[in-house]
C-alpha cells in the first residue's frame, strides 16, 4: 500500500539484504529441524482455529475473559485428544494458544510435584487421573503472610492416628493460601504445602494432595473456603488466570495423601525421613525455574520481533534537503537500544537449552541417588531465572518505547506482553531472594578459596559453573591484553575479563564480610554488593554458554557468522553497561572499555541489514505475535486503523453518557456564555 506512507514491501526489501540462510537460523534457534517442523505445525494449527482468536482479548470483562480461557483450554484439550498429539506437540499447542490459565499449573506444577515427591504407588493412583483431566490440580504453597520464606508457612497438617488421617487447618488469616494459579475457580485438587505435625512435634513443610471441590458439581468441599484474589495489572493479560485464596477449617484427608517419597508418617504416627536430601521438596520449583529461563527467550524474542519489524517500517525525518524520511531502524540510537535486546534473545535461548540439559542430567543423577549436583542445579536455575526475567521485563518495556506512541496501544501487543510477563520477576521466587541464594554459594567458595589460595592447585577444585573460581591466582591479577577494538572479537579475551570481574567482585564481598563483627551482620550489610556479584556470575554463565554454542557445528551459510556477531554484541553491551564493575575491579582499562564501545558500533552496522531476517528466524505466526506493528507483511497502518474501530467505544458514534453528562455540560456552558 502506498497510501499514507505505509510500505509493506519495505520488509521484503529488508529480507533481501540478509547475509545468511534464515532456515538454517530457524534450526539453530529451535534446536533441531524436527523442532522447527513441529513448532511450525502447531503454531499454524492454533492460528487457523477461530476458537483461539485473541485480537479482542484486552476488551473483555474479567468474567468474559475467564470464560473464554475455560473455552480455549477445553477446546485445546479436545484437539489434543482428537489429533492424538504427542506430549511435545500438546505442549507447543498450549504455548501458541498463549492465554495463561489453570492448565499451566495443572501440567506445569501439580503433575511435576506428584512425579517428584510422590511414591510410585501415589504416582500410579493420581497421575492417570490428572493425565485424563478427571481431576484438575494446582500448586498451593504461598500464603497471604508468607511467600519467599517457605519455612515460615503456617498451614498445618496434623496427624490423627485414631482416624489415620491428617487434619488440614488454616490457623490464622495470614495462613490463607494466596496466589496459587488455577485455585480460585478451576481446580478440583491441590498439592498443598503445610507444616507436618505428628506426635506433638512440628516437622516443617511437606506436600499433601488435597481435594478441594466436588467432582459432581464443583462446589467447595465442607471446611474449604475458596475464591479468586482479584484483578491484576493490565487489561487482558494475567487476568485470564484465577489466582486464588484457600482456607481450611479442620479438613480431613487420608494419611496416604501426604507426598511420601522424601519422608513418611507411619500408621502409628512415627515420622521417618528417607535418605534423600530434604531440599528435594523444592524440586518442583527448580523444574519450573528452568522452564522460565527458556520462556524468557520466547517473551523477549516476541517483543524484539515486533520492535525490529516496526522500526523497519516506521519513518521519521528526512535528509536536510527534503529527501525521503528515514526508517527509524537506521538511527544509531535505535540500533544501540534494540540490537543488544536482539542479541539477548539469542543468548537466553542458548542458555535455556543448556539449562534444560543440566536439569535432565541432574534428574538422572538423582534417580541414581547421586545428589552431588543438586546445589549447582539450584544456584543455576535460581540465578538464571532471576537475571533473565528481570532483563526480559525491562526489555519488553524498552521495545514498547522503541515503537513510539503506537507501542502504547493494546493492538501493538506490547502492553499485554509486558503485563503477562512482569510477574515472572516475582513468581517462582522473588528475583532478589533468588540472587541472594546464588551469592551464598559464591561467598562460600570465595571464602574457601581465599583461605586455601596457596594450596589451590592441590586442594578441592570447584566444578561446574563455578570452576573458573579455581583459577583464582591468575584471575585476581590478570590484565586484559586487548589493544585494538577488533581484539574484543576474541572469545577468550571476553571470557577472561568476565571471569575476572565475577571472581574479584565475589572476593571483595568475602573480604568485606570477614571484617564485620559476625558473618550474619556482614552478609546483611554487604547484601547489595553480593547481589551485584551474583549478577556478574550469572552474566558470565550466559556469555560462556553462548561462546560454547558457537564451538558446535552450526550448519547453514552465514548462520554461525551472524551468531558470532550477536554473541559479541551480547557480551560487549554488558561490558559497556557495567563498565564501573570492570574498571573498579581493575579487569580492564578505560581505553579498553572505549575500544569495546567502538567495536559495538561497528557490529550494530553489520547487524543492520540482517535485523529483519534475524527476527524472522524466530518463526512466529502473526497470531502468536498478536501485534499490528509486528505483522510479517509490514502492512502496519491499515491494520492499526482497522483495529481502532473494533474498540467498544466506537460501537456508537455518540458515546453512552452523552445525554447524562456531556449534553447538560455543553448546554450549560452555552447558556452561561450568552448571559
Ligand X SMILES: CCCCC/C=C\C/C=C\C/C=C\C=C\C(=O)SCCNC(=O)CCNC(=O)[C@H](O)C(C)(C)COP(=O)(O)OP(=O)(O)OC[C@H]1O[C@@H](n2cnc3c(N)ncnc32)[C@H](O)[C@@H]1OP(=O)(O)O
Q: Report, in Å, the least distance between residue 267 CB and ligand X.
A: 29
Q: Which does 450 bind (CB under 5 to 8 A by kind): ligand X, ligand FAD, none?
A: none
Q: x/- binding map, residues 178-217, to ligand X, per CB under 6 A?
A: ---x------------------------------------
Site for ligand X in 410-449 (CB under 6 A): 427-429, 433, 437
For residue 35, count CB atoms less than 10 angstroms from its CB and return exposed for 0-12, middle for 13-18, buried for 19 or more: middle
CB of 591 to ligand FAD, least distance (A): 38
The 3-class secondary structure across 614-651, one letter per residue, is HHHCCCCCHHHHCCCCCCCCCCHHHHHHHHHCCCHHHH
Residue 341: which of ligand FAD, ligand X, none does it interact with, CB under 5 to 8 A by kind?
A: none
Under 8 Å between Cβ of 466 and 501 = no
CA-to-CA distance for 425 and 74, rounded, in angstroms? 29
Q: Name residues contacting ligand X, limited to 362-421 (CB under 6 A).
A: 374, 378
Does residue 426 interact with ligand FAD by CB under 6 A? yes
Examine the residue annotation and report whether 548 is marked as an active-site residue of this protein. Answer: no
Return d(Cα 185, Cα 169) in angstroms, integer.
Answer: 20
Query: Judged by CB, which is closer to ligand X: 276, or 478?
Result: 276
57: DSSP letter? G
Phi and psi (nearest 5°) for 206? Answer: -140, 165
- Kindly state the cell numbers that stand for 443: 561467598
What residues contact residue 37 under an 8 Å CB cut-off, 6+ apart? none
Residue from 291, 386, 439, 544 that binds ligand X (CB under 6 A)?
291
Selected from 24, 101, 118, 147, the binder of ligand FAD by CB under 6 A is 147
**CA torsion sign, 510 to 513 to 518 to 521?**
negative
Region near ligand FAD per CB under 6 A, out of 137-145, 247-255, 309-317, 440-448: 137-145
Span 431-470, contacts to ligand FAD by CB under 6 A: 432-433, 436
Closest to ligand FAD by CB, 165 vs 242, is 242
The radius of gyration computed from the CA coordinates of the chain, to the nearest angstrom, equals 28
Q: Looking at beta carbons only, is 108 or 236 nearer to ligand X?
A: 108
Nearest residue relative to ligand X (C-beta): 108
Contact (Cβ atoms closer than 8 angstroms) between residue 657 and residue 26: no
Applying CB under 6 A, among 24, 108, 184, 630 the residue interacting with ligand X is 108
The only residue of 235, 264, 279, 589 in contact with ligand X, by rule CB under 6 A: 279
- Taking 3-state DSSP, the helix, strand and coil percentages for the chain, each rounded to the nearest 5, stand at 60, 10, 30
C-beta closer to ligand FAD: residue 95 or 433: 433
Instruction: Report 177-196 residues binding ligand FAD (CB under 6 A).
Output: 179-181
Integer CA distances (angstroms), 502 to 99, 115, 337, in order:
39, 37, 25
Considering only 43, 85, 292, 446, the residue that binds ligand X (CB under 6 A) is 292
Minimum CB–partner distance for residue 361 and ligand X (Å): 15
Of residues 233 through 252, those in contact with ligand FAD by CB under 6 A are 238, 243
Q: Are 307 and 338 in contact (CB under 8 A)?
A: yes
Q: Which residues does the annotation place in the binding site for FAD?
A: 142, 181
- d(CA 296, CA 348) in angstroms, rounded, equals 7
Q: Of 5, 603, 31, which Cα lies nearest the Cα of 326? A: 5
Figure out which of the listed residues 19, 86, 148, 483 binds ligand FAD, where binding follows CB under 6 A: 148
Interacting residue ranges for ligand FAD, rule: CB under 6 A = 105, 139-142, 147-148, 179-181, 238, 243, 423, 426-427, 429-430, 432-433, 436
Q: Which residues are catalytic?
A: 428
Amino acid at each position: 500500500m502506498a497510501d499514507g506512507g505505509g510500505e509493506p514491501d519495505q520488509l521484503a526489501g529488508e529480507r533481501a539484504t540478509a547475509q545468511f540462510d534464515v532456515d538454517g537460523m530457524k534450526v539453530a534457534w529451535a534446536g533441531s529441524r524436527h523442532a522447527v517442523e513441529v513448532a511450525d505445525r502447531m503454531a499454524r494449527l492454533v492460528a487457523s482455529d477461530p476458537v483461539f482468536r485473541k485480537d479482542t482479548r484486552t476488551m473483555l470483562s474479567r468474567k468474559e475473559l475467564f470464560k473464554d480461557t475455560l473455552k480455549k483450554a477445553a477446546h485445546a484439550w479436545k484437539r489434543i485428544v482428537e489429533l492424538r498429539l504427542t506430549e511435545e506437540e500438546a505442549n507447543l499447542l498450549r504455548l501458541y494458544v498463549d492465554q495463561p490459565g489453570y492448565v499451566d499449573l495443572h501440567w506445569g506444577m501439580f503433575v511435576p510435584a506428584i512425579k517428584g515427591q510422590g511414591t510410585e504407588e501415589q504416582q500410579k493412583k493420581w497421575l492417570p487421573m490428572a493425565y485424563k483431566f478427571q481431576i484438575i490440580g494446582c500448586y498451593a504453597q504461598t500464603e497471604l503472610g508468607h511467600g519467599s520464606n517457605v519455612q515460615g508457612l503456617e498451614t498445618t497438617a496434623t496427624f490423627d492416628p485414631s482416624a489415620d488421617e491428617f487434619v488440614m487447618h488454616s490457623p490464622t488469616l495470614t495462613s490463607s493460601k494466596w496466589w496459587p494459579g488455577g485455585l480460585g475457580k478451576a481446580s478440583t485438587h491441590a498439592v498443598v504445602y503445610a507444616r507436618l505435625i505428628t506426635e506433638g512435634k512440628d516437622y516443617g513443610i511437606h506436600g499433601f494432595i488435597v481435594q478441594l471441590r466436588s467432582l459432581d458439581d464443583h462446589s467447595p468441599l465442607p471446611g474449604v473456603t475458596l475464591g479468586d484474589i482479584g484483578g491484576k495489572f493490565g487489561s487482558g493479560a494475567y487476568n485470564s488466570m484465577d489466582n486464588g485464596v484457600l482456607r481450611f477449617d479442620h479438613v480431613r484427608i487420608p494419611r496416604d495423601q501426604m507426598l511420601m517419597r522424601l519422608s513418611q508418617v507411619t500408621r502409628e504416627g512415627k515420622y521417618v525421613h528417607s535418605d534423600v536430601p530434604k531440599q528435594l521438596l523444592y524440586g518442583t520449583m527448580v523444574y519450573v525455574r528452568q522452564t522460565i529461563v527458556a520462556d524468557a527467550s520466547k517473551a523477549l524474542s516476541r517483543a524484539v520481533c515486533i520492535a525490529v519489524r516496526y522500526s523497519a517500517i516506521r519513518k521519521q525525518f528526512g535528509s536536510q534537503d527534503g529527501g525521503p524520511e528515514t526508517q527509524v531502524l537506521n538511527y544509531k540510537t535505535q540500533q544501540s537500544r534494540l540490537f543488544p535486546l536482539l542479541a539477548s534473545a539469542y543468548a537466553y535461548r542458548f542458555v535455556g537449552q543448556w539449562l534444560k540439559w543440566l536439569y535432565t542430567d541432574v534428574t538422572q543423577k538423582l534417580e541414581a541417588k547421586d545428589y552431588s549436583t543438586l546445589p549447582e542445579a539450584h544456584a543455576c536455575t535460581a540465578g538464571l531465572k532471576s537475571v533473565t526475567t528481570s532483563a526480559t521485563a525491562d526489555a519488553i518495556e524498552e521495545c514498547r518505547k522503541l515503537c513510539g506512541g503506537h507501542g502504547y496501544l493494546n493492538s501493538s501487543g506490547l502492553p499485554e506482553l509486558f503485563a503477562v510477563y512482569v510477574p515472572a520477576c516475582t513468581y517462582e521466587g522473588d528475583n532478589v531472594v533468588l540472587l541472594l541464594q546464588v551469592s551464598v554459594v559464591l561467598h562460600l567458595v570465595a571464602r574457601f578459596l581465599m583461605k586455601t589460595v596457596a594450596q589451590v592447585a592441590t586442594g578441592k577444585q570447584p566444578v561446574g559453573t563455578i570452576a573458573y573460581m579455581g583459577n583464582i591466582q591468575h584471575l585476581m591479577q590478570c590484565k586484559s591484553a586487548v589493544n585494538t577494538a577488533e581484539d574484543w572479537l576474541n572469545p577468550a579475551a571476553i571470557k577472561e575479563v568476565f571471569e575476572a570481574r565475577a571472581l574479584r567482585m565475589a572476593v571483595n564481598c568475602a573480604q568485606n564480610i570477614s571484617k564485620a563483627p559476625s558473618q550474619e551482620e556482614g552478609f546483611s550489610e554487604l547484601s547489595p554488593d553480593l547481589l551485584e556479584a551474583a549478577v556478574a556470575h550469572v552474566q558470565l554463565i550466559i556469555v560462556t554458554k553462548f561462546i560454547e554454542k558457537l564451538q558446535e557445528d552450526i550448519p547453514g551459510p552465514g548462520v554461525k557468522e551472524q551468531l558470532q556477531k550477536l554473541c559479541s554484541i551480547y557480551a560487549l553491551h554488558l561490558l559497556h553497561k557495567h563498565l564501573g564493575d570492570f574498571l573498579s575491579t581493575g579487569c580492564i582499562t578505560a581505553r579498553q572499555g572505549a575500544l569495546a564501545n567502538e567495536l559495538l558500533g561497528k557490529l550494530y552496522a553489520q547487524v543492520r541489514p540482517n535485523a529483519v531476517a534475524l527476527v524472522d528466524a524466530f518463526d512466529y505466526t502473526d497470531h502468536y505475535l498478536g501485534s499490528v506493528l509486528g505483522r510479517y507483511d509490514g502492512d502496519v497502518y491499515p491494520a492499526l486503523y482497522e483495529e481502532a474501530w473494533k474498540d467498544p467505544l466506537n460501537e456508537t458514534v455518540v458515546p453512552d453518557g452523552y445525554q447524562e453528562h456531556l449534553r447538560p455540560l455543553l448546554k450549560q456552558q452555552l447558556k452561561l456564555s450568552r448571559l
